[in-house]
Amino acid sequence: MKEQFKLSHHTVWTEINKFSRNLISHSVFDWLVDEGSLTAKLVDLSGDNFKLELQSQEHRVISHEEKLILELSEVDTVIDRKVLLKGRDAPWIFAHSLIPLSSATGDLKVLKNLNNRSLGEFLFKNRSIVRRSLEIAHMDAKSFGIEAQDIGCKERLWGRRSLFSQGRRSLLVSEIFLPALILEIEK
């Protein structure tokens, strides 16, 4: 499977409480900071014409930066999962998840084999999993290894990154809002 998108390690993420709301439209900001399931919102917005496309899923050793973000004390192998969420056949969200194998145990073991299933759907059905942090970033389309015109965008993209945890087990989810979704949100 060809990987179309990649998340740059040079993206600067800002904690939500330090982010200036004046930099973005109110409607997009509201979507970025929504505490519910983004997948559920996308299904609703699409009129149930929603699809998740798995771009890639592989095991790899975690980087030092990722280890710090996930608050891991030891080097771990992660499940590096990238998906494209589509509404009405248009690419709306690029999502990148890092799931330490040490976290994918017990009732979280299902995270090892999500394939084309929604991670968000699982996270929000499991009441013992909490979102511990939410950050926002504004980035160039090129930071994903794509040309802006390929997704109908000459501008920068907005994204959010959430650290979820269940006790000492954590996982990181980054969601990049693509131009077709921004257009839908601002209608």
**What's residue 19's pLDDT?**
85
The values of phi and psi at residue 19, to 5°, are -90, 135
Return the closest-CA partner of residue 92 out of 6, 178, 30: 178
DSSP helix, strand, coil percent of the chain (3-state; round to 5):
30, 35, 35
Measure the CA–CA gap between 163 and 131, rounded to whole angstroms. Answer: 6
* Domain boundaries, given as residue ranges, for the chain: 14-185
d(CA 108, CA 115): 14
pLDDT at residue 164, rounded to an integer: 96
Residue 124 CA to residue 120 CA, distance in Å, equals 6
What is the three-class DSSP state of 35?
Answer: coil
Predicted pLDDT at 8: 54
- Going from the first residue of the chain to its last (187 residues), give the mean pLDDT of each consecutive group of 10, the final group possibly shorter: 49 86 89 94 96 94 91 90 94 94 93 91 91 89 56 71 94 92 89
At residue 78, the pLDDT reads 96
Residues 141 and 17: beta-carbon distance below 8 Å: no
Q: What is the pLDDT of residue 144?
A: 57
82 and 96 Cβ atoms separated by less than 8 Å: yes
Task: Please give the Cα distance from 104 to 52 (Å, whole number).
Answer: 21
**pLDDT number for residue 12:** 83
Q: Report the pLDDT value the prediction gives residue 142, as an integer from 0 to 100.
A: 66
Alpha-carbon distances, residue 74 vs 63, 77, 101, 107, 179 (angstroms): 11, 10, 12, 22, 38
pLDDT score recorded for residue 146? 52
What's the CATH class of domain 14-185?
A: alpha beta
Q: Are 9 and 63 in contact (CB under 8 A)?
A: yes
